Amino acid sequence: MDKTRLRLAIQKSGRLAEDSFELLKLSGLKIQPNKSGLFYRVKNFPLDLLLVRDDDIPGFVADGVADLGIVGSNVFEEFSLTHADKQSNTLLPLGFSKCTLNIAIPSEQNYNSMADLAGKNIATSYPQILSKALAAKNITANIVEMHGAVEVAPKLGIADAICDIVSSGATLEANGLKSVENIFTSQALLLKTKSQLGPEKEQSLSRLLSRIEGVQACKETKYIMLNAPQTALPEITKLLPGADAPTVMPLEGQNGAVAIHAVCRESVFWETMENLRDAGATSILVLPIEKMMV
């Protein structure tokens, strides 16, 4: 094993895996799969991928088996509450694979507040997060720990309610449940081991972070170009969303007219373009940005 190559643990399948691979692809990494399906090599960057179960990732990073990991903050929080002696650093929230951890009950039941859960049986794969949320409200309930198919617990008579990850809510509806409390909001995180990496790995990590931050910056960032009278420049500059000082160039043969180019770090909506037009702008173009070094 080359000790100068970073090792990144990611989920081996599912939405988080797909989003993680997309992030790495947008970061310019060319991934070479392995027949085993467990260990992938990046051909153009000193990085190897370890494909594992999501709930194994925090432990692998904490123990130094992997230098880095991409995992949902729900899994990381549950691991951290369970293993206070095994910790790692959170480098970046990645902004994808967003979901919530919700308490749900049968649709036909009434619900007023979390006090209604007192003395109830609640099935979950996240007993520590649920216990923390209940304790914060001084509520005592019986937590039934399950791994997989949590949503069927009320039908089977195992529990009165469930606490599970919700994305669209379709699974809850299909099982005759309704969400009544959101106790945790989750997204993908980039974790780093607390073990020393060495100078080569630290340099590679710095490059990788720069690329990831560039990908994140491109998501909402747009490049906007327009023409306008010089006199309208102050008003137009105010209307450009999240832009630093724009580039202003005189238009050839157009006295008093300028071309304005700007990087807008917020979404450019139709309303924004209409406001720019009303301020005197013409020939407004909004373009996506493929790559950005921040």
- What is the pLDDT, as a whole number, of residue 29? 95
Strand partners, 72: 188
Q: Do 56 and 81 meet the contact criterion of CB atoms below 8 Å apart?
A: no
Same domain, yes or no: 248 and 119: no
Q: What is the pTM of this model?
A: 0.83
150 and 214 both lie in a single domain: no
- The predicted model gives 276-281 an average pLDDT of 93
Domain of 177?
99-185
Judge contact between 40 and 92, C-beta under 8 A. Answer: no
- Among 55-64, 206-215, 240-249, the range scoring the smallest mean pLDDT is 240-249
Kindly state whether residue 294 falls inside one of the protein's structural domains.
no
Beta strands in the chain (DSSP E): 6-11, 31-32, 39-42, 47-52, 68-72, 89-93, 99-106, 121-124, 142-145, 161-166, 177-186, 188-192, 222-229, 247-250, 257-264, 282-288
pLDDT category at 196 given cuts 50, 70, 90 is confident
What's the confidence (pLDDT) of residue 36? 75
Domain count, the chain: 3
Q: Please provide residue 8's backbone torsions phi and psi, each rounded to the nearest 5 degrees.
A: -115, 125
Rg (CA), the chain: 25
Helix (H, G, I), strand (E, B) or coil at 154: helix
In terms of domains, do 87 and 109 share one? no
Q: Which residue has the tokens 């970061």?
A: 27
- Where residue 227 sits, what CATH number does that domain have? 3.30.70.120
Question: 110 with 167, same domain?
Answer: yes
Report yes or no on 293 lying in a domain.
no
Q: Are residues 160 and 211 in the same domain?
A: no
On whether both 88 and 144 belong to a single domain, the answer is: no
Q: Residue 154 CA to chain centroid, in angstroms?
A: 31
Whether 143 is in a domain gets the answer: yes
- Output the domain CATH number for residue 123: 3.40.190.10
Domain match, 14 and 90 both: yes
Say yes or no: 248 and 127 in one domain: no
